Amino acid sequence: KQKMTVMDFQKYKDEGRKFSYVTAYDYTTASIVDDSDVEVILVGDSLGMIMLGYKGTTAVTMDDMIHHIRPVVQGAPHTFVIGDMPFGSYQVSCEQAMTNAIRMIKETGCDCVKLEGGINMADKIAAIVNAGIPVMGHIGLTPQTATSLGGFKVQGGTPESARKLIEDAKTIEKAGVFSIVLECVPSCVARAMSKEVRVPILGIGAGPDVDCQVLVTQDLLGMYGDFKPKFVKQFAQIRKAMVDGLNAFHEETLNGSFPSPEFSFNKQVDIPPAKE
């Protein structure tokens, strides 16, 4: 497949051509996504939960992100790769945001960065874009600041909050984002936003009327056991397949049927007796 460019995001929206977007945090998963038709990979700070077993994303560091983005870039040469800016790496100042965005690009080779926030983050977005780095926005449910949103719940559910969300989108569009992740909002709010904003809206729990659908790979493949949000559809049951495979290995180990000669080195070696 042909690797998407930043310009293709806008082109796809303008042509009404949908695309899809998933997470990866390691080389093997990235290479599997690269073999698929999915065009975009996010190395999300959701790796805090999925890879590191944390309760949320706030503890994830720049070093964690870089550690995981590098192997994904190696594993997916035909897929557009986004590096997620972790909590605390861009909120302090424009200078901090630029320094960390530049570090992420320099040390991993990813194609762009993503950060959470609307009007309040517009200056940070503009600063990074001015440094020559494409920025993807993320509004609606923003997990890094979910505590101040009252937890993991649907955003934009009132007329005022829906309008505020669309104004957030317009403001970060002006600040220079080339696309916007919109998480956990009523479908009609996402539809209205996609009409009022020129750049593509990448929906996760945002209904069908957006330009692209985003899901966490481990969620959509049924690998992650702990929690399934309403917006996640499991397109495969990989966790069950993995547990079944592990149990088959365990059973054949106990009954001795593994390893058969096929899986053993069968050369005869005449071993001399041990010296006294």
**Cis upstream peptide for 273 (omega within 30°):** no
Query: Whole-angstrom Cα distance, residue 275 to residue 96?
Result: 69
Instruction: Give the nearer residue to ligand KIV in terms of CB position, either 57 or 245.
Output: 57
Is residue 34 near Na ion by the rule CB under 5 A? Answer: no
Reply yes or no on whether 183 is catalytic.
yes
The active-site residue, picked from 15, 39, 95, 183, is 183
d(CA 262, CA 188): 59
Token pair, residue 164, equals 């505020």
CB of 48 to ligand KIV, least distance (A): 8
Structure tokens of 247?
């149990």
Using N-to-C axis directions, what is the helix angle for 94-108 and 62-75, rounded to 10°?
40
214 binds, among Na ion, ligand KIV, none (CB under 5 to 8 A by kind): ligand KIV
| Interface region with Na ion, contact rule CB under 5 A, candidates 20-28, 29-37, 76-84, 206-214 | 76-84
Measured from the Cβ of residue 83, the count of other Cβ atoms closer than 10 Å reads: 33
Q: Which does 100 bind (CB under 5 to 8 A by kind): Na ion, ligand KIV, none?
A: none
CB of 44 to Na ion, least distance (A): 4
Closest contact distance (angstroms) between CB of 143 and Na ion is: 6
What is the distance between the alpha carbons of residues 149 and 157, in angstroms, rounded to a whole number? 12
Q: Are 184 and 154 within 8 A, CB to CB?
A: yes
Least distance between Na ion and beta carbon 155 (Å) = 15
Q: Which amino acid is it at 69? A: I
Q: Restricting to residues 80-139, which ones interact with Na ion according to CB under 5 A?
A: 84
Any binding-site annotation on 187?
no
8 in contact with Na ion (CB under 5 A): no
- Three-state SS at 82: strand
Q: Which does 42 bind (CB under 5 to 8 A by kind): Na ion, ligand KIV, none?
A: ligand KIV
- 144/119 Cα distance (integer angstroms): 16
Residues annotated as catalytic are 183
- Residue set of the binding site for 3-methyl-2-oxobutanoate: 45-46, 84, 114
Residues that bind Na ion (CB under 5 A): 44-45, 84
